[in-house]
Amino acid sequence: MRIDDWPPESEAAWVSRRKLLMLASSALIVLPSACNRPSDSTDSLYPKAIEHNSGEMIYWSATAIARAILEKRISSEEVVKAYLARIQAVNPKINAVVQLRAEDALADAERADASLARGEVKGSLHGVPITIKDSFDTEGVVSTGGTKGRAHYVPAEDATVVARLKAAGAILLGKTNTPELTFAWETDNLVYGRTNNPYNIEKSPGGSSGGAAAILASGGSALDIGSDTGGSIRLPSHFCGTVGIRPTSGRVPRTGHIISYIAGAEDAFTQIGPMARFVEDLILTLPIIAGVDWRDPAIVPMPLGNPREVNL
């Protein structure tokens, strides 16, 4: 089913989020229908990675993709090519990815596969392709923050969270759309225009991390990083049926984000967090991006607990 054929006319105008996710398996977003857990003997980097026995790899969790690359069941190059093809197919209708580094990403994937063949693993995201919200600085890639004043701005260095993800082996596919300066609950700006909800392109994916949520929901990326001042991770995740977490204030450095740590009275409201289709990917990613960088003065050296140890 095409993006603009959703939802079917026979469906009620309002459906629950649970029902929406169930219906998605037969619509644009074909979530894997069967999965199991890996054996206890597999690598401890991915203790509870979901292994998908059906569905395309673009709908696997980032954790499962990382595990499959590490075990050499798939290559990073294969995964990057699959995501690039998906972005090419869906992005003309949803306008979620606003900068694409296709050739560079493929070159990065080739290097990742070559280093793995030599027994060298950068980290827990080795060879995994990701996207990044356009409010974050990315070295050598236009980073507008959705504002015309930065329409041609190319940063000389990565934001702290981007640098940490790359150090863990992640491969940047491209940048996802944001409203101007991230200040809106929809995703539209004068540089790139409006991002549409993949379930219904006449609707909004929410904001300000709407580009991230839209491409995640469409199977065009396994992982993105959002920012949240007043719901900018949480609202798009709800609108698009994805997941995200707004970490506690003081947890993740905002260095290199367009709303950084110099926002005055508003400073404590803006936090940086991962977005994905699976909760296990939030668990994998948050420890990578959390912790002091000695540049954002509000970040404290507080240990990060393991959510799997929480007994509710």
Residues with catalytic annotation?
133, 208, 232
Helices 62-70 & 102-117 angle (0-180, nearest 10): 50
Q: Torsion-angle region of residue 297: left (phi > 0), alpha (psi -120 to 50) or beta?
A: alpha
Residue 134 makes CB contacts below 8 A (sequence gap 6+) with 98, 99, 143, 144, 145, 146, 175, 176, 177, 178, 192, 211
User: For residue 110, what are the β-bridge partners?
Assistant: none
| Contact assessment for residue 171 and residue 138, using Cβ atoms and an 8 Å cutoff | no
